[in-house]
Amino acid sequence: MSILVCGGAGYIGSHTVYKLIEQGNDVIIVDNLQSGHLKAVNKNAKFYKGDIRDSKFLEKVFYENKIESVLHFAANSLVGESMVKPLLYFNNNVYGMQILLETMVKFNIKNIVFSSTAAVYGEPKRIPIVESDDTNPTNTYGETKLTMEKMMKWCNKAYGINFVALRYFNVAGALEDGSIGEDHHPETHLIPLILQVPLKKREFITVFGTDYPTADGTCIRDYIHVLDLADAHIKAVKYLENGNESNIFNLGNGIGFSVKEMIDAAKEVTKKDIKVVLGEKRAGDPAQLVASSEKARKILEWSPKYTNIKEIVKDAWTWHETHPNGFED
Ligand code: UFG
């Protein structure tokens, strides 16, 4: 039996595929390579290039393989872009999920592990955030992911499809040997942007807002290593394959770091000075986002191994230093 990974050529998908294969699983990858990279496709997986919204294509994949479980990473995921192109996000994310679920129903596939996000919560009422807290997304991206969670909930009731939704906080890092890593176009995430300064690809990093109600005035986020996420996905697949009920889990380290602390960590790791410009707030940024991952620790028996922020930044640096132009190198 195989595991189907939709979006297996993307950042989190490719790291999860690497770990699945390392642990002896048979993996099928589906990716349209819109934001994924051919060079990130694991050579030991069977690869189908195509779009999950193309039901004929997806049915062919299910027909040709004995699939037991699905890992679903295939989605658009840029918050800013989602606000100016909401229909693109509804089409790719929500409609993509509809076709995927319809195909799962048709082929009687019962398990799906889904890439969700802390963006489903919106502005948090308390820190750390627990899974039962209110969900009021403040951007289209978070709204599409919340809708996708709800689609799975109703398909669970109607068709017995079991799901685990994993709500990630700020994903960072790369495979330790630097062979795969983060490569977004355009790049909007803090750590890769900071590291572009010592790589001489940008002159300075702008700090978005310095008067937040935090100790140093900059935003606090919970950074989680991509390999810890990969580990959680594999545990979630086993959880479903062992017959456990559908569930939702936060995934974070449980420790918050400010933008200034992240820049300091990058200075230490790269041993280079990093020019900083203090800028205006970015619209829609909550002051603090920190996860409670107690539920995942208890039920999935997952715990993050990369709890030192410098270790996370070091792995990101190994990747970016050796691939300054991402997978184009
Ligand atoms: N930041 C800067 N300067 C930059 C870029 C980012 O100061 O040049 C700050 C942001 O304001 C924020 C922090 O760095 O406070 C982290 O920003 P990211 O863009 O790296 O990440 P976000 O917290 O905005 O978003 C992440 C994921 C989203 C997910 C969201 C959940 O990237 O996919 O967490 O809230 F939706």
Q: What is the pLDDT along the chain (329 residues), one digit of tens a residue?
A: 999 999 999 999 999 999 999 999 999 999 999 999 999 999 999 999 999 999 999 999 999 999 999 999 999 999 889 999 999 999 999 999 999 999 999 999 999 999 999 999 999 999 999 999 999 999 999 999 999 999 999 999 999 999 999 999 999 999 999 999 999 989 999 999 999 999 999 999 999 999 999 999 999 999 999 999 999 999 999 999 999 999 999 999 999 999 999 999 999 999 999 999 999 999 888 899 999 999 999 999 999 999 999 999 999 999 999 999 999 86
| Partners of 47 in the β-ladder | 29
Give the pLDDT score at 117.
Answer: 98
Q: How many residues does the chain have?
A: 329
Give the pLDDT score at 329.
Answer: 65
Residue pair 119/79 in contact by the 8 Å Cβ criterion: yes
Give the pLDDT score at 71.
Answer: 98
Q: Is 21 in the pocket of ligand 1 (CB under 6 A)?
A: no
For atom 26 of ligand 1, the residue with the nearest CA is 170
- 120 CA from centroid of ligand 1 (Å): 14
Give the pLDDT score at 283.
Answer: 84
> Which DSSP state fits 319?
H
| DSSP-assigned letters across all residues of 170-236 | EEE---TTSSS----SS---HHHHHHTTTTTSSS-EEEE-S-SSSTTSS-EE-EEEHHHHHHHHHHH
Give the pLDDT score at 5.
Answer: 98
Out of 79, 136, 144, give the residue to mutate to test ligand 1, the one with the largest number of ligand atoms within 8 Å of its CB: 79
Q: Is 193 in the pocket of ligand 1 (CB under 6 A)?
A: yes
Structurally, at CATH architecture level, domain 2-172+224-251 sits in 3-Layer(aba) Sandwich (3.40)
Give the pLDDT score at 74.
Answer: 98
Domains 2-172+224-251 and 190-221+254-322 share a fold: no
* CB-neighbour burial class of residue 274 (10 A; exposed 0-12, middle 13-18, buried 19+): middle
Atom nearest to 205 CA in ligand 1: 8
Q: Is 141 a catalytic residue?
A: yes
Question: Which of 260, 265, 256 lies closest to 278 in space, CA to CA?
Answer: 260
Give the pLDDT score at 284.
Answer: 81
Prediction pTM value: 0.97
Cβ neighbours of residue 53 closer than 8 Å, sequence gap 6 or more: 91, 92, 95, 96, 99
> In the CATH hierarchy, which fold is given to the domain comprising 190-221+254-322?
UDP-galactose 4-epimerase; domain 1 (3.90.25)
Give the pLDDT score at 47.
Answer: 98
For atom 18 of ligand 1, the residue with the nearest CA is 189
Per-domain residue ranges for the chain?
A: 2-172+224-251, 190-221+254-322
